[in-house]
Amino acid sequence: MTESSYELSGKSYPEFLNHFKTSLHHLFQTENIDKLSLERGLPPSVWKEIMNLKPLSVAVPSEFGGRGLKVKECLGILSAASYESLPLSLTFGINIALFLEPLAKYGNESIKENIFKHFLNYGAMGGLMITEPDFGSDALNMKTQNVLKGDFYEIKGTKHWQGLTGLANYWLITSRNANAEGNLSRDVDFFIADTHQSEQNIEVLEYYDNPGLYMIPYGLNKIDIKVPEANKLVPESTGLKMMLDILHRSRFQFPGMGMGFLQRMLDEALLHTRSRVVGNSNLYALDQVQYQLTRLESFFSLCSAMCAKSSKISGIDFNLSSEGIHANSMKALVTDMMQEAAQILVQLSGGKGYRMSHIGGRGIMDSRPFQIFEGSNEMLYTQISEGILKDMKKKKIENVGEYLQQNVLSENAAKLYAHNLDFNINTAISQRKMIDLGKVVARVITVNDLLELSNAGFNQKLVDNSVEMTRQEIVTLLASMNHHQDLKPLDDYSENSNWISLV
């Protein structure tokens, strides 16, 4: 083994993280990550060097030789990876949040040791299969089914858009139990497939030509496997609540992937604008440039708050099945910030940034799917609004600001924005308005987390700027919400709309 296979338990986390950061940076400098990112996948030798650093040890319980599944340590690894490569961070995120944590919390004790050993010692990877070609976010109608036959479950179906398709050694697969008549249960079951076993191997029917995240293979998978009874996850109550707990915990970890990426966008933007001379001064001296840099600093600060909050509340000891509003707020807002940060960097960089070999140009494509997978952001913002309005109705509160000042997720930040949030909702509103409202609520909740981090000693000037930058965004969103017209697409837009015939 290499130097990086040192005894995990004997190193403090700062030492472990610093070793990972410096080793990864040196590796990507040597191998030229800008060129590697233009090709599909990574060379096996590069993967081996990365996995020899034991990044996934942070998500292995200490009783199995890992670092103990501390959220802070998991987010730190995700952040360190995303500073160098967002796809690499997503690879770790898939392994941590969508396989290792569910295994640690819900897995049968008889199978844990062998699987964790493969992750620690042999660089194994795992992923999650939920999405089906006919059922994307509508996961509860999935058609993949399982039937218990003797000591084994037979699982059949089709899944797609799974990160690490054809690469993962282990898969967590969702399905619904079929009764004797062939009817599918309303509940959801989770099973672990070990691709080392021939009867558990999953056939890849097609690899997709995803336009970003080149490092990660995606595709169409055919499920026709037999797994032992012990490979079924054991829910605390129902499979649906287990799925919500897993997905919400994953959404609470998105800030870890966003943190390093946002910091990299900020660092690159500062470096370029300070060194790029235009006329008698540099780009940094321009007012609009300073505004954009301040936005990037705001993104950095808000994401820092998300990471700090997530570290406190999203460990596997907590059941997060009912924490949808907070989890959705983090996932949707941080991924919107990631995309916007990449757009800002490219705009500031000019033609230099508009290349896949540039971290900004690549960042636009690599961050874009984050707004789509694990629930598209429009859907998540809508769910935030639905949850808030349902609770307002239950508590018989019509004023949004009044309600948010009483909600523990937003009480302190809502007081800062009391004037802006002083309006009533007492009737049903359209989905387009629900999305705007959800964006507002997500920002208020995140600023609430930022105020908590400020009390712990976070840079007060960054906090103050973020509070005001967020106020601007809230005012803009509320103006959009209040001025939405009930516009509908025309049934036949082509009628009398050919301009050439009119001149």
Domains of the chain: 13-123 (1.10.540.10), 128-236 (2.40.110.10), 241-483 (1.20.140.10)
158, 221 contact by CB (below 8 A): yes
Q: What is the pLDDT of residue 485?
A: 85
What global pTM score does this model have? 0.96
DSSP-derived 3-state class of residue 458: coil
Give the number of other CB atoms < 10 A from CB of residue 55: 26
Distances (CA, A) of 440 to 7, 267, 294: 46, 28, 20
Each residue's pLDDT, cut to its tens digit, for the chain (503 residues) gives 333 444 555 689 999 999 999 999 999 999 999 999 889 999 999 999 999 999 999 999 999 999 999 999 999 999 999 999 999 999 999 999 999 999 999 999 999 999 999 999 999 999 999 999 999 888 889 999 999 999 999 999 999 999 999 999 999 999 999 998 989 999 999 999 999 999 999 999 999 999 999 999 999 999 999 999 999 999 999 999 999 999 999 999 999 999 999 999 999 999 999 999 988 999 999 999 999 999 999 999 999 999 999 999 999 999 999 999 999 999 999 999 999 999 999 999 999 999 999 999 999 999 999 999 999 999 999 999 999 999 999 999 999 999 999 999 999 999 999 999 999 999 999 999 999 999 999 999 999 999 999 999 999 999 999 999 999 999 999 999 999 888 999 999 999 999 999 99
d(C-alpha 295, C-alpha 314), whole Å: 27
d(C-alpha 79, C-alpha 92), whole Å: 10
d(C-alpha 257, C-alpha 370), whole Å: 10
Which residues are bridge partners to 173 per DSSP? 129, 191
Cα end-to-end span (Å), the chain: 75
* Rg value, the chain, Cα: 24
259, 75 contact by CB (below 8 A): yes
Which residues are bridge partners to 170 per DSSP? 126, 194
335, 370 contact by CB (below 8 A): yes
Give the 3-state secondary structure percentages of the chain, helix then strand then coil, rounded to 5: 60, 10, 30
Q: What is the pLDDT of residue 199?
A: 97
Q: What is the pLDDT of residue 7?
A: 53
d(C-alpha 116, C-alpha 101), whole Å: 11
- Phi/psi at 435 (5° precision): -65, -45
